[in-house]
Amino acid sequence: MKKSNLLSKNLLTGKTILLISPEFWGINFNSKHHYAVNLASRKNKVYFINPPTKNNNLEKIHKNLWLINYKPLLGGLRFMPEYFSGIFVDQEIKMIEKRYKIKFDIIWNFDSSRFFNLSRINKTIKIAHIVDWSENFERGLLCKTSDINLCTSSFLEKEMKKYNFLSYNIGHGYNPSDYKISSSEKKLLYSKYNIKVGYVGNLSIQYIDWETLYKLIETNTEVGFYFIGPSEKSNLSKNPVNNKYFDDIKKLKNVICLGEIISKKIPALLSYFDILLLIYKDREFNKQLANPHKVLEYLGSGKVIVSSWIEEYKSQKGLIEMSRLNADLLNNFKNVIDNLAFLNSEKNKEARKRIALTNTYSQKIEQINKLLQSIA
């Protein structure tokens, strides 16, 4: 990577960055949205580009952060020979720069279905950042034509190294928040149950094991279960939940569905619960579920987590109560209930919080900055 004119001690400060996201901007944040906000806070000018729309426009949404909607110059680039797709990606980016009178120093791409061939992009730092195993449209070509590849699991790192040895598993980031729960929100969270269990995330994804969740909730009628997150169409998903067990869960008396809640409030809400749940079909989607984004948010609350298997956290026994088989989750949950005081002791809560606080987005950006410096 010979871009010495861009390289400095603080590479990721004061730059103009195009951040390419496979999900739209909205109230529900995942890693792409958090990176955008945190990069903008470092005096970068960040342009977050949504998936394709029918219009071209630019909107300022935060300090140093703009949202780009765009209508693609040409569709079907994935089906073109590599030589031609590189030309059209280059032209698309140049048109965006010309339209808004900007020049990108860094292209940061989380989306392997768009802008995936960066072979003709010069004098610009190119970062491929894959956070989901399922993000595999033109992943190989994106990795091959980027200066550096970042990912969130050892599975992804091994795969990406096939195309570019400068591939690094840096894990996910954690976004702390100083938001305080209001009195009206406390009323919303109130229930008659002494033990309150929280599940937070996009409820529309296909990986949730709703059948096991239903059995767990139905069996533990003395426990209150809260669900926070979108179950209808949202900025993270085109489709609503379509699952019989989810429909049955909503009918149970000890279930409270709170719907979408803006991301900055989530850390404060998580601290309200006694137990946090993460129950996925990990056997069926083991590589996709090796490192879910929500785990660090959960750990940041300090509260005990009951979950299906999470490969990247297999060494954290005692802080995360994982089950190798989802069939064992009901017994695991009962053991957690029986030992809740110990599992949520101040010592254990602080240990969980330390993991989150050593993986903040600010620290991840510093880590990426050092990686870029090392390969300059």
How far is the C-alpha of 125 from the C-alpha of 120, rounded, in Å?
12
Question: What pLDDT, in 10s, does the model give residues 56-94?
Answer: 999 999 999 999 999 998 888 887 888 999 999 999 999
The yes or no reply on domain 16-173+360-375 and CATH 3.40.50.1220 is no
Residue (of 50, 54, 48) closest to 66 by Cα position: 48
Say which DSSP state 332 is in: H
pLDDT band at 2; cut points 50, 70, 90 = low
Question: What pLDDT, in 10s, does the model give residues 317-370?
Answer: 778 999 999 999 999 999 999 999 999 999 999 999 999 999 999 999 999 999
pLDDT recorded at residue 8? 56
Task: Give the residue with greater pLDDT, 365 vs 188.
Answer: 365
pLDDT band at 1; cut points 50, 70, 90 = low
pLDDT of 141 higher than 90:
yes
Q: Give start-end residues of each CATH 3.40.50.2000 domain in the chain.
A: 16-173+360-375, 183-357
Q: Considering the chain, what is the average pLDDT of its residues?
A: 94
CB 34 within 8 A of CB 22: no
pLDDT band at 187; cut points 50, 70, 90 = confident
pLDDT band at 188; cut points 50, 70, 90 = confident
**Helices 346-357 and 294-301 sit at what angle, rounded to 10 degrees?**
140
pLDDT recorded at residue 63? 96
Q: Determine the average pLDDT of the residues in 195-209.
A: 96
Residue (of 119, 169, 125) closest to 140 by Cα position: 119
Question: What pLDDT, in 10s, does the model give residues 33-49?
Answer: 999 999 999 999 999 99
3-state secondary structure of 204: coil
Question: What pLDDT, in 10s, does the model give residues 254-270?
Answer: 999 999 999 999 999 99
Distance of CA 263 to CAs 21, 100, 114, 209, 276, Å? 17, 29, 26, 23, 17
Question: What pLDDT, in 10s, does the model give residues 87-131?
Answer: 999 999 999 999 999 999 999 999 999 999 999 998 899 999 999
In the chain, what percentage of residues exceed pLDDT 70? Answer: 98
pLDDT band at 286; cut points 50, 70, 90 = very high
Please tell me the total number of residues recorded for the chain in this structure. Answer: 376
Question: What pLDDT, in 10s, does the model give residues 159-172?
Answer: 999 999 999 999 99
Out of 2.40.440.10, 3.30.300.30, 3.40.50.2000, 3.40.50.720, select the CATH number for domain 183-357.
3.40.50.2000
3-state secondary structure of 150: strand
Q: Determine the average pLDDT of the residues in 207-232.
A: 96
pLDDT recorded at residue 146? 98
pLDDT recorded at residue 183? 84
CB 112 within 8 A of CB 77: no
CB 174 within 8 A of CB 360: yes
pLDDT of 375 higher than 80:
yes
pLDDT recorded at residue 3? 53
Task: Please name every residue paired with 255 in a beta bridge, in sequence order, or none if there are none.
Answer: 225
